[in-house]
Amino acid sequence: MGIKHVLLTAAVIPALSLAACSQSDTTASTEASGDKQTITNCGFTMELEGPAQRAVTLRQGATETLLEMGLEDQMVGTSDLRTPVLEHNQAAFDSIPVLADGVPTIEQVMGADADAAISDRASYFTGQYAGTREELAEKGIVTFVSNTDCNKGKPAFDMLEQDYKELGQIFGKPEAADKLIEKQRAVIAENKDKIDGLEPVTMATIYSIYEGEIYSDGNMSTFQAVTDQLGQKNVFADVEDQRFSPGWEKFASLDPDWIVLGDLSTRGGPGDSPESKIEMLENNPATRNMKAVREGNYIVVPGAALDPSARSVEVLPLVADALKEAHK
C-alpha cells in the first residue's frame, strides 16, 4: 500500500561554576548577583559565572535547538543523530565534532572539555549514559533538560519557550531566544486556523517500532501540543507520558483515523523508516484491519520533529496540510 502525504522535510521554519543543587519538578527561575547568575532548570539550581563556550548536546533535539539559535561556535560536540538536520543548519552541524553516534558517556563528555551538557531528556543524565547532573556539576559542567520533561500538565510549546529563555541565559544570547520564540509563535499562528471548519479527526503517532514494540506519544508530548493547536484528538491524550509503548492490541483498539509516522531512516534500525513501519502495520494481525492502515492514512514527519526542540513546530504544517489536502 502506498503512503499518502509523504512529507519528509519542512521549510518552516568563558568557564561556568556550579552552586549547590537540588532536584524537584519546578519551573525555572533566574536570579542575578553581581557578575554571577543563578538558574534553576527542572528543579536543578546552578550558578553561572559566564556564558557556556564548550557545550555538548546529548540528543538531536538539543542539537537542533542550539543550531536554530545560532550557537554552533559555542558547541564542541553533538550526539545521537536520528534524522538529517535542517538544510540551512547543515554547514553549521558539519563544523561541530560528532561526540557519539548514540548516547555519549561521561568519559566522552569530559574528553570534549565541555562546560555544558544539553539534553531534551532527563533520562540521558544517568550513570549509564552521560553521568548524573550532580556528577557533572562536581566537574564544573552546567546541565540542561528540556522543560517539557519535568512539567506535567503544561503545554509543550509553552515549555519550549521556557527552554529557549533558559538556553539564552546559559549561552549569553537572550536575543537569540527571543527570535526563536517569535518564530515558533508565528508558525503556530499561521497553521492553527488552516483546517478550521473541517471535522476533527483522531490521530496517533508511531515514533518508532523498537524490538517489536510500538512507541507512541502521550499528553506530555509536543505531538499533544500540535493536536491541541489544530483542534484534533490524540487518542493517547489520557496517557501522562511523553513517549511510551501501548502495545499492538491497544494501539489497534483505539483505531485512529490517521497515523503520524516518525521518519528515523538515518538511524537505520528495523521499524525506523516509514516504509518499514507501514509494512509491520499491514502484516501484524492486530493492526492490519485498522481504518488508517486500510485507507493508507499516513502522515510522515521527521522523527526529530516529534522530540521537544526548535523543530517541534514543523509537525504543525505537515499535519494541517495533509488533512486539508485529504478533504479536497
CATH fold of 194-326 reads: Rossmann fold (3.40.50)
More confidently predicted of 5 and 275:
275
The grid cell for 35 is 557578575
Average pLDDT along the chain = 90
**Are 29-187 and 194-326 the same fold in CATH?**
yes
Least confident of 7-16, 153-162, 310-319: 7-16
- Tell me what pLDDT residue 36 has: 81
Residue 7 has pLDDT above 90, yes or no: no
Q: What are the residues facing 57 on neighbouring strands?
A: 118
Q: What are the residues facing 202 on neighbouring strands?
A: 233
* Mutual angle of helices 156-170 and 174-191, in 10-degree steps: 160
**303 and 8 Cβ atoms separated by less than 8 Å:** no
pTM metric for this prediction: 0.87
CB count in 10 Å sphere of residue 323: 23
- Tell me what pLDDT residue 82 has: 87
Q: What are the residues facing 160 on neighbouring strands?
A: none
More confidently predicted of 20 and 103:
103
Confidence of residue 21 (pLDDT cuts 50, 70, 90): very low
The grid cell for 46 is 546552578
**How far is the C-alpha of 1 from the C-alpha of 274, rounded, in Å?**
12
Distances (CA, A) of 113 to 18, 57, 107, 119, 201: 16, 13, 10, 17, 49
Residues 122-148, mean pLDDT to the nearest whole number: 96
Residue 24 has pLDDT above 90, yes or no: no
Residue 30 has pLDDT above 60, yes or no: no
The grid cell for 270 is 528495523
- Tell me what pLDDT residue 35 has: 63
pLDDT in tens, 204-254: 999 999 999 999 999 999 999 999 999 999 999 999 999 999 999 999 999
pLDDT in tens, 46-94: 989 899 999 999 999 999 999 999 999 999 999 999 889 999 999 999 9
Residue 177 has pLDDT above 60, yes or no: yes
- Tell me what pLDDT residue 327 has: 87
Residue 160 has pLDDT above 80, yes or no: yes
In sequence order, what are the residues at sequence separation of 6 or more whose Cβ sits closer than 8 angstroms to the Cβ of residue 79?
A: 56, 57, 58, 59, 60, 63, 98, 99, 100, 101, 102, 103, 104
pLDDT in tens, 300-322: 999 999 999 999 999 999 999 99
- Tell me what pLDDT residue 44 has: 96
Query: SS3 of 230, please?
Result: helix
Residue 22 has pLDDT above 70, yes or no: no
CATH fold of 29-187 reads: Rossmann fold (3.40.50)
Q: What are the residues facing 209 on neighbouring strands?
A: 214
- Report domain extents, the chain: 29-187, 194-326
The grid cell for 150 is 519535568
